[in-house]
Amino acid sequence: MTHPAYTPASTDPDGTAAPDRPDSDPDRTATTDRPGRSRTGLPVDLDGHDHRTFPAEGYDGRASRARAEPMAVWPLRDGRYLVDREDRTYVVDAERATCTCPDSAIRGARCKHVRRVAIEIDAGVLPAPDERERACAVCGGSAFVTVDARGPALCPRHDHNPGSVVADRETGTLLVVVESVGQRADDARTGEGRLVADYDTNAAYGRHEPVFAARYVEALPTGTSRGRSDAATRRRYLFPASRLRPVDADSAADRPTDPTREQRASPARAG
């Protein structure tokens, strides 16, 4: 999902200038406190009142204060954010990079509150302006979905994108995700007419979980002589979301497949 560009509200090219001193060297590498989709989970500290701090080493000016000063941030229903400090509360519009604080409203600067919102979005702590927070259908944890999203929400740990490599938790065998079926395990049926949730190998997983279709890596065509139509006719199997474990693509390339996987654990075949 692509987010709107967050254009700075000032002529502060590297995001580090304080309001009372000139801009820093324009050739300096830009700071990384603007919103992004990496969601790398930057380390944070809490002061016991939801006021977080982020590591600020290597930053100065507003960029440093945006990280070092304790702040609590909450998303509002209109896509803006409430930023609370110990003595003041401001409203940030992340898409316009504006804030109700004097530094932004009067000086036109990209204030520390705008930067803090960007930092927390990038860290995966907050939903982006076009997202909303919902409970993951598998674990109940935090899941960020688009405003108009329908159906069950899944957190990054339990969601699987088409084409991603995953491992079957029952056998360790590698698969490639085909699609989200859009049904729960106690509603989706296989080509045999059985509910996915009724298979013995799925007994340890929630009947309420969304179902994903996947193909075993060992069954995928190899070489250039086999076309897409051949791949499309390969068997696909249905799995509850949490039975599939994300696997790093690089490590998966060197991982052997298991030719006996269907004998040891028979997943639900979609047909």
pLDDT digits (tens, 9 = 90+) for 68-95: 999 999 999 999 999 998 889 999 999 9
The answer as to whether 88 is a domain residue is yes
The tally of domains found in the chain comes to 2
Q: Between the CA of residue 243 and those of 16, 134, 215, what are the distances in Å? A: 45, 21, 14
Looking at residue 268, its pLDDT comes to 60
Residue 193 sits in the same domain as residue 115: no
Please give the sequence-ordered ranges of beta strands (E in DSSP) within the chain, or none if there are none.
45-46, 52-53, 72-75, 81-84, 89-93, 98-99, 131-135, 142-146, 165-168, 174-184, 210-216, 237-240, 244-246, 268-269
Can you tell me whether residue 122 is helix, strand or coil?
helix
Single-letter amino acid, residue 157: R
Looking at the structure, tell me whether residues 111 and 231 fall in a common domain: no
Q: Which of 82, 107, 129 is the last residue of a domain?
A: 129
Is 205 in the same domain as 260?
Answer: yes
Residue 139 within any structural domain of the chain:
no
Q: Does residue 138 fall inside a structural domain?
A: no
Residue 79 in tokens: 């896509």
- Is there a single domain that holds both residue 169 and residue 264? yes
CB 89 within 8 A of CB 82: yes
Q: Which residue has the higher pLDDT, 249 or 258?
A: 249
Domain that holds residue 235: 165-269
Query: 174 lies in a domain?
Result: yes
200 and 89 share one domain: no
Model pLDDT for residues 190-225, shown as the tens digit of each residue: 989 999 999 999 999 999 999 999 999 987 766 554
In a domain, 79, yes or no: yes
Whether residues 173 and 260 fall in one domain = yes
Specify if 238 maps to a domain. Answer: yes
Both 85 and 170 in one domain: the answer is no
Question: What integer best gives the mean pLDDT of the chain?
Answer: 78
Q: Is residue 211, in this structure, part of any structural domain at all?
A: yes
Domain end call among 81, 102, 129: 129
Q: How many CB atoms lie within 10 A of CB 5?
A: 9
Answering whether pTM is above 0.85, one says: no
Q: Which two tokens stand for residue 38?
A: 């990496």
Going by C-beta distance under 8 Å and a sequence separation of 6 or more, which residues neighbour residue 157?
136, 139, 141, 246
Average pLDDT over every residue of 12-17: 34
Block residue for tokens 């699987």: 160
Same domain, 95 and 205: no
Do residues 108 and 189 share a domain? no
Q: Which of 129, 156, 181 is the last residue of a domain?
A: 129
**For residue 197, is it within any domain?**
yes
